[in-house]
Amino acid sequence: MLVKTAFSPFRTTAAVVTALALAFGGAGVAQADPTAVLIDVGGAGDATFAPDAFGTGGLTETKPASAPSLPNWGPTTAHPIPADIWHTSRYLESTYAVTGLTPGATYEVRLYFMDWYFKGKPGKRVFDVAVDGTKVLTDFDIIATAIARGADGTNSFGVERDFTAVVGESGTVTIDFIRGKEDQPQVNAIALVPVTP
C-alpha cells in the first residue's frame, strides 16, 4: 500500500509504474487501491507523514522544548504516530479539504490532538469538529478527555479520535475545526486510512 508522503522522485516513479501496470495489466482491474494520506499538521513531515498540506485558516505552532509531553499515551491513543509529529499544530478555526481520494472508498479519519498551551487546565479549549459537514465532536476538550482516561494533568497528553468517512464523487474529504464554547480549536496530525472490507 502506498502512503502519500513528501515528494520523492523514487516514490513518484513507483507510483507511475504501478499506475501503468494497473492500466495495462489485464481485465478486471478498474483502479488502484486507495492509499493512506498522513498529514503532519503545522510541520515539515518525516519519512511517513507528509508536510502540512490541504489546510486553510488558522495559524501553526510548535511545542516549546520545555513543555513536557506524553504523545502516544495508551489510554487515549489507538494508533501511535512518531512523537515529533505530535509537536506541531494548527490552531484557530481551520479546514482541511483532502483531495485525491478514491471515490466510493471508506476511510478511517484519525485526528490527533495535544494541548500544551492549557496543560492541566480542562475547560480552557472547547471546540467542535465536522467531517464532510457532519459534526463528529461537540464541545471537545483535549485535556478533559485525557484526564477522564486517567491522565494526571502535569504533562501534555496525546488524544486520538477516529471516525469513518465514505468519499464522494469529488474524491475529497473535508474536516472543519470549529470554534466552540472556549478559546480556539487545535489539531496536531491527520491520518486518512483506507478501511479494508
Render pLDDT for 155-179 as a digit per residue (tens, 0 to 9).
889 999 999 999 999 999 999 999 9
Place of cell 465536522: 130
Pick from 164, 115, 162, 116: which is nearest to 141 by CA? 115
The residue extents of the domains of the chain are 34-194
φ, ψ dihedrals at 157, nearest 5°: -100, 135
Residue 19 has pLDDT above 70, yes or no: no
The residues near 157 (Cβ < 8 Å, ≥ 6 apart) are 69, 70, 71, 73, 76, 114, 143, 146, 151
Q: What is the mean pLDDT of residues 51-74?
A: 93
For the domain bounded by 34-194, which CATH number is listed? 2.60.120.430
Model's pTM, two decimal places? Answer: 0.82
Distance CA 43, CA 146 (A): 23
Percent of the chain with pLDDT strictly greater than 90? 68
